[in-house]
Structure 1
Amino acid sequence: MNFGQAISTCFSRYATFSGRAARPEFWWFFLFQILVSIAASMLGDIVAGLVSLALLLPALAVGARRLHDIGKSGWWQLIMLTVIGLLLLIYWWVQPGSSDASD
């Protein structure tokens, strides 16, 4: 999956929390979020806030689908509220998907 396909897939499944997301889909969308957020912050605080709100739901959805791909519940994303939890999530997100993970 390339950059364009990943962005297209994430926006076509904007609020779909079921299913799976492969590593390339997740990480390409993550890169897209960073690039768009940097560009929006150069345009002003209001634009940056609107962009952040617009990208929040698809980011949570692709994160949940990525966790499903490794056999974890999407609810594990709640631990990103802590620094230790964020490090654990990053570790899980870089793991290869399992063929027996449930949705």
Structure 2
Amino acid sequence: MIRKIKRRSSGRMFAMNCPTCGKENESSAQFCGICGSQLSDQPATVSQYDMGSSNPRVGFGEAISLGFKNYINFSGRATRAEYWWWFLFLVLTGVVLRTIDTLTGIGMLQNIFNLATFIPGLALGARRLHDIGKSGWWQLLWLAIIVGWIILIVWYTRPGNQLGNKYPN
């Protein structure tokens, strides 16, 4: 892709558009200021679109394993499948543990599980946001009830940035 350059009245040079979101960026920028996509003067090559080696498909068991293996790993990327299999694991296990808590009167199993999976859930959320070119700090939107939740759910369901971004695997 060849970026067209135009000069603003301030004299600064601007590239026309980001290939992902369309935002104008300075000609010296390597990554888009909005979506984090890599800006390049060269056309995308086939290897840039090949997700097989860097983002393999993961199944339910492998996603759980990766979630615990990367317990406090907030760098890198996570695929949609990895994130949503982990989410399903949390929901299913939470339901089972809540049922056991209710039937036995223990009342602590789900709370212990929630504490044990809180950090890996945050780490996985950060890696998932990295996959779409966003900072993991965007997870703070969970604190903005309803609106923040909707934004994050939409982002978590977006496909990863195949052209690369500032968050390497």
TM-score bracket, normalised by the shorter chain, equals over 0.9
2:150 is equivalent to residue 87 of structure 1: yes
Quick check: which one's helix share is greater? 1
- Superposition RMSD in Å: 0.9
Larger Rg: 2
Superposed displacement of residue 83, structure 1:
1.3
Residues 8-50 of structure 1: per-residue CA shift (max 9 Å, x gap): 1111001100000000000000000001111111122211111
- Where does structure 1 differ by over 4 angstroms across 4 or more consecutive aligned residues? none
Does the alignment pair 1:7 with 2:70?
no
Q: TM-score when scaled to structure 2?
A: 0.59
Q: How does 1:1-103 map to 2 (within 5 A)?
A: 1-44=58-101, 45-81=107-143, 82-99=145-162, 100-103=164-167
Q: Distance between the aligned counterparts of 1:101 and 1:23, measured in 2?
A: 16
Structure 2 residue runs of 5 or longer lacking an equivalent are 1-57, 102-106
How many residues align? The count is 103
Q: TM-score when scaled to structure 1?
A: 0.95
Relative contact order higher in (CA < 8 Å, ≥ 6 apart)? 1
Using the TM superposition, give the Cα deviation of residue 101 of structure 1 relative to its aligned residue in structure 2, in angstroms: 2.2
Unaligned runs of at least 5 residues, structure 1: none
